[in-house]
């Protein structure tokens, strides 16, 4: 019996959200008196993967078949399933993401496992295996009893605060038995966001809406984002108008984010937008309309003109540096 953690790589490094999952998995392993094993798929160095030990993992299984260089959901699901069986794991931990959700669903079917997503805390083991998950777009929590022998848990971003040590994990080569059926779907192209900061992984996000009046005014948003080291985002109407690329659209039908800080400039705060951002730890709203619905969800609100407030914030951030 062990806990296995599926991790995602970005340019050879384990993503921040996956490191949160590693820490969660390691803490769960401690509760169960077992060990935590990480599965890493794709190109990376032994030294980089060994850093998973900083977050509690004891071992890393590295699958680096050339065919796995790009994210292939079906193949990744087969690799994870084989790793679970090879390691004798009964619990799979991963970060909730577009890739993680797709892989987890397929692995659950293969292993006949129960699966719970959006998990926010370690399970309560006093009376079974009960996990807490966020529901209703973060407005409530549910306690879920997982009864099956195999369990899959997808961790909500920023739900845990990892404690880092200087321990290193042992890295082992993992060579799964892949078949042609695992590559029935061929990836023909990948279009990455131009931003250097991934929006789903960002700790800081500066977002704007139609209050910016046009794409030509987005420089003040980007200036603040650059000063903070933040990712940029936008509301759905902005992406629909092609003022900003669709991969920056945050909301119920776009990307859902959970940063430490979310700054919303010139966004009224429709329920669809709130559904994608209300997991943010701190929300700052800037709007000249004091009756804007977004202020009800804000931790801090500034009533004022974004064309005045944003440059002043940027100047203050740069001065503080």
CB contact at 8 A, 29 and 125 = no
Annotated ligand binding at 191? The verdict is no
Annotated ligand binding at 135? The verdict is no
Q: Using CA atoms, how far apart are residues 208 and 265, in angstroms rounded to an integer?
A: 5
Q: How many CB atoms lie within 10 A of CB 31?
A: 12
Annotated ligand binding at 273? The verdict is yes
* DSSP reduced 3-state for 152: strand
Annotated ligand binding at 210? The verdict is yes
Annotated ligand binding at 219? The verdict is no
> What is the C-alpha R_g of the chain?
21
Annotated ligand binding at 252? The verdict is no
Give the bridge partners for 7, in sequence order. Answer: 40
Residue 187: φ, ψ to 5°: -85, 120
Burial class for 293, CB neighbours closer than 10 Å (0-12, 13-18, 19+): middle
Tokens of 186: 């061929």
Annotated ligand binding at 26? The verdict is no
Annotated ligand binding at 270? The verdict is yes
Greatest CA separation for the chain: 60
Annotated ligand binding at 251? The verdict is no
| HSE value, Cβ hemisphere, 13 Å, CA-based, for 46 | 5
Annotated ligand binding at 266? The verdict is yes
CB contact at 8 A, 302 and 309 = yes
Q: Using CA atoms, how far apart are residues 229 and 203, in angstroms rounded to an integer?
A: 9
Q: Using CA atoms, how far apart are residues 19 and 146, in angstroms rounded to an integer?
A: 24
Binding-site residue set for FAD: 210, 266-273, 287
Binding-site residue set: 210, 266-273, 287
């Amino acid at each position: 019996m062990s806990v296995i953690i599926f991790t995602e790589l970005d340019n050879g490094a384990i993503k921040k959200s996956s490191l949160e999952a590693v820490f969660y998995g390691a803490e769960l392993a401690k509760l169960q008196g077992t060990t935590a094993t990480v599965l890493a798929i794709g190109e990376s160095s032994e030294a980089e993967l060994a850093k998973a030990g900083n977050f509690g993992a004891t071992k890393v299984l590295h699958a680096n078949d050339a065919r796995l260089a790009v994210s292939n959901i079906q193949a990744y699901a087969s690799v994870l399933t084989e790793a679970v069986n090879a390691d004798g794991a009964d619990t799979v931990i991963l970060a909730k993401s577009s890739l993680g959700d797709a892989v987890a669903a397929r692995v659950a079917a293969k292993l006949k496992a129960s699966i719970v997503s959006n998990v926010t805390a370690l399970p309560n083991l006093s009376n079974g295996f009960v996990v807490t998950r966020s529901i209703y777009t973060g407005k409530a929590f549910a306690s879920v009893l997982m009864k099956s022998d195999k369990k899959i848990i997808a961790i909500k971003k920023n739900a845990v605060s990892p404690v880092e040590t200087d321990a290193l994990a042992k890295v082992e080569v993992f060579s799964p038995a892949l078949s042609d059926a695992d590559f029935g779907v061929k990836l023909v192209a990948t279009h990455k966001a131009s931003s250097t900061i991934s929006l789903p992984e960002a700790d800081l996000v500066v977002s704007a809406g139609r209050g910016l009046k046009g794409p030509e005014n987005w420089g003040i948003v980007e200036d603040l984002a650059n000063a903070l080291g933040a990712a940029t985002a936008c509301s759905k109407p902005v992406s629909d108008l092609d003022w900003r690329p669709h991969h920056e659209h945050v909301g119920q039908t776009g990307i859902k984010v959970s940063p430490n800080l979310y700054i919303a400039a010139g966004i009224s705060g429709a329920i669809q937008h709130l559904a994608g951002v209300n997991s943010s730890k701190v929300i700052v709203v800037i709007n000249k309309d004091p009756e804007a619905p977004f202020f009800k969800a804000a931790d801090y609100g500034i009533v004022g003109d974004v064309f005045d407030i944003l440059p002043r914030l940027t100047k203050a951030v740069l001065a503080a540096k």
